[in-house]
Each structure stands twice: as C-alpha cells, then as structure tokens.
C-alpha cells in the first residue's frame, strides 16, 4: 500500500470535512528545530523534562494539546518561543494567547508546569502578532503531511509576505489530526481548523474576503465547539458571511438519541456588545455523506466516519441586552 495517499482518497470520494476540528482547553506550542520523529516529543531536540511532562499530561487525560512548531528562523534563533493558547469560557471568539521568550527549550517544562499550577510564569512578552497559523508538515507521522503540508507552507509563507501581513505568523507544526485532509491548518487565536487547502482558499481566509461559499470545501470546523455543533456553525456562518468572524459564540448539544442518530443542538452568538441571538437545530445522521475511509496513509483498515446534517433550524431567542454598568 506504499502508493496509497489518504489525502488523495479523501478528495476522490468527496468527503465533507466539516465536524473534524478537535476541541481543546489549551494549546501548548513549543518552538523546536526539526527533524521531528513520528512520536514528536521523542525527537532529538526535545529535553527529557518536557517529554516527561507531556506524558504526565497525556496520562491524566487533561484537555491540553502539546505541539512542536518551527519556522525558517528556528535553527538560527537565539531564544525559544513558547505559546500557550487558553480557551475563553462562555461566549467566546476562541483562545487567549500567552507568549514567552525563553533562552533555551530546556526551560519550557518549568514554565508550563507553573502555568498549569495557576501561577504566572516569568518571561512573558507582548508582541504585535495577532494571528498564529499552524500548518501540519509532520511527514514522519503521515506522508500526506509531508507531500502536501510542506509545499503549502512554503507558498503560504510567500503569500503572507507579499501581503505584508506583519501581524500574522505561520508555523510548521507536528500532527494536528485529520491528515487525510492535508494540507491542514489551525488558525489561532480563533481555533478554526481548515483542510484540503490551496493558495486561493488560504488567501480568502487570510483576508476574510471573496465568496464565503468557497469555505464549504476547506472548513473543518471551529475547535471551540463539539463536532456536531460545528456542522450547525458552518451553516450559520455561510449564511452570515465574513461578518460572522467578528462574533462571539457558544454552542452545546442539548439532547441526543440513544443511537446518536439525532441530536438537538444550540448555538448562541453575540453580535456587537448588546445583542444576543440563540438558534436551535435538529441534527441528524446523514446517511448519504457518512463514509468508510482509511483515516491515514498507514491505516490497515477502513473506519466509518459519521456525518451530521442540519435538518431544521429555528431562532429561539433574540435578546437586545439591557446595557448595565
């Protein structure tokens, strides 16, 4: 099966990629030179104390995602960048960034531990960067991420540079899930996931312009929402247009059938400072789009990926909030 590429197969079968974003409370992004092994935190430049911390967090099943990141300056850098993105509670536009400049990757574990204990670590800095885009290029984990991720990263970097977007950083990253959607990316601080990207769709995402319907093919979902609610959010987003990206949102599943074939979902959003809207929708298992696929290049067998569709949608509340001081 050496000539099987999972990302090519996803394109061939026309899989709808919505609902495939993962929901984490916290992202811990550690700048680390490549090469990266398939088990990223066993890589050459990762110190033992960081490897142990990642294992501890993983065993404790904490909703924290550790990723290694790098860019073209990582080898030459005099310092190590550590980014901690923390999810906002309630109505949210995504995550809050905390950036640290450390003299060495060996200091990362102590800073992260301090953070996890709720203390404020030193070395925190403020920057003009308002967006960090992670592109998975983790080829040792899945060859599609090398084949599609690397060239996408190279061209995306040029696109950002041509547009003179000095507040946007792009990083290569270890496995973010969904390699069958390569090239795949996370746009932070929002935490939106994209896949099957090309430079045209990337330009649209960067500038928030163009025909928003084109996002239907590349939008994996908003990682602050449960997967089925991501389907609902996409429908509402395509309806509202690019303004939707300015709104704060919260969503939840209110009830679901025992067989998970139907769910009742709710999505609230704040449009401006004093208006709150709440939609509810019936979400049903979509038999026409539920498919059997190999989830990665190395998968020995196929697995069923259940897809949901919005059966009906209604506005349940339309509150203009009283402005209270």
Note down pLDDT in tens along the chain; length 325 residues.
Answer: 457 655 555 666 667 789 989 999 999 999 999 888 888 898 999 999 999 999 999 999 999 999 999 998 888 888 999 999 999 989 999 999 999 999 999 999 999 999 998 888 777 888 888 999 999 986 544 555 567 788 899 999 999 999 999 999 999 999 887 667 888 999 999 999 999 999 999 999 999 999 999 999 999 999 999 999 999 999 999 999 999 999 999 999 999 999 888 999 999 999 877 789 999 999 999 887 766 665 555 656 767 777 888 999 888 877 755 433 3
CA nearest 250: which of 232, 274, 273? 232
Looking at 189, 217, 245, which one is the last position of a domain? 217
CA nearest 183: which of 212, 218, 230? 218
Residues 263 and 184 in one domain: no
Asked if the structure places residue 83 within a domain, the reply is: yes
Asked if the structure places residue 51 within a domain, the reply is: yes
Asked if the structure places residue 1 within a domain, the reply is: no
Q: What's the CA gap between 47 and 309, in Å, rounded?
A: 45
Q: What's the CA gap between 314 and 306, in Å, rounded?
A: 24
Residues 112 and 233 in one domain: no
Residues 189 and 255 in one domain: no
Domain span holding position 273 = 226-320
Number of H helices, E strands in the chain: 8, 16
Using alpha carbons only, how large is the chain's radius of gyration in Å? Answer: 20
* Entry field: residues in the chain: 325
Residues 104 and 247 in one domain: no
Q: What is the predicted pLDDT for the residue at 271?
A: 86
Asked if the structure places residue 251 within a domain, the reply is: yes
Asked if the structure places residue 184 within a domain, the reply is: yes
Looking at 192, 217, 242, which one is the last position of a domain? 217
Residues 262 and 194 in one domain: no
CATH number at residue 308: 3.10.450
For the chain, the domain total comes to 2
CATH number at residue 12: 3.40.30.10
Residues 163 and 238 in one domain: no
CA nearest 156: which of 141, 169, 145, 143? 169
Residues 30 and 125 in one domain: yes
Asked if the structure places residue 325 within a domain, the reply is: no
Sign of CA dihedral 265, 319, 223, 13: positive
Q: What is the predicted pLDDT for the residue at 25?
A: 94
DSSP letter string over 39-58?
Answer: SGGGSTTS-HHHHHHHHHHH
CA nearest 188: which of 297, 99, 320? 99
Asked if the structure places residue 276 within a domain, the reply is: yes
Q: In what order do the strands lie in the sheet with 308-320?
A: 248-256, 262-270, 275-285, 308-320
According to DSSP, residue 79 is labeled: S
Asked if the structure places residue 11 within a domain, the reply is: yes
Q: What is the predicted pLDDT for the residue at 222?
A: 97
Looking at 159, 188, 217, which one is the last position of a domain? 217
Q: What is the predicted pLDDT for the residue at 325?
A: 31
Residues 49 and 158 in one domain: yes
Residues 183 and 305 in one domain: no
């Amino acid at each position: 099966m050496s000539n099987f590429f999972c990302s090519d197969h996803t394109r061939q079968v026309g899989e709808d990629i919505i609902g495939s974003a993962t929901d984490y409370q916290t992202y811990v992004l550690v700048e680390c030179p490549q090469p990266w092994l398939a088990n990223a935190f066993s890589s050459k430049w990762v110190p033992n104390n960081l490897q142990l911390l990642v294992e501890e967090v993983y065993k404790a099943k904490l909703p924290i995602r550790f990723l290694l990141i790098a860019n073209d300056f990582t080898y030459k850098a005099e310092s190590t960048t550590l980014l901690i993105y923390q999810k906002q509670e309630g109505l949210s536009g995504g995550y809050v960034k905390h950036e640290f400049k450390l003299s060495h990757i060996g200091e990362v574990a102590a800073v992260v531990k301090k953070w996890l204990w709720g203390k404020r670590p030193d070395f925190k800095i403020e920057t003009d960067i308002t967006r960090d885009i992670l592109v998975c290029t983790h080829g040792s984990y899945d060859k599609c991420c090398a084949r599609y991720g690397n060239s996408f990263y190279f061209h995306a970097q040029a696109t950002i540079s041509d547009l003179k977007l000095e507040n946007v950083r792009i990083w290569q990253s270890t496995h973010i899930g969904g390699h069958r959607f390569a090239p795949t990316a996370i746009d932070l601080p929002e935490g939106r996931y994209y896949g099957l990207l090309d430079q045209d769709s990337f330009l649209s995402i960067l500038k928030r312009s163009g025909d928003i319907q084109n996002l239907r093919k590349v939008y994996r979902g908003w990682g602050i929402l449960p997967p089925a609610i991501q389907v609902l959010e996409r429908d509402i987003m395509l309806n509202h247009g690019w303004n939707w990206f300015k709104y704060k949102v919260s969503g939840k599943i209110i009830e679901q059938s025992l067989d998970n074939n139907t769910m009742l979902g709710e999505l609230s959003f704040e449009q401006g400072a004093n208006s709150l809207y709440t939609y509810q929708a019936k979400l049903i298992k979509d038999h026409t789009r539920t498919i059997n696929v190999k989830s990665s290049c190395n998968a020995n067998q196929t697995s069923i990926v259940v897809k949901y569709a919005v059966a009906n949608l209604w506005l349940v509340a339309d509150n203009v909030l009283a402005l209270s001081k």
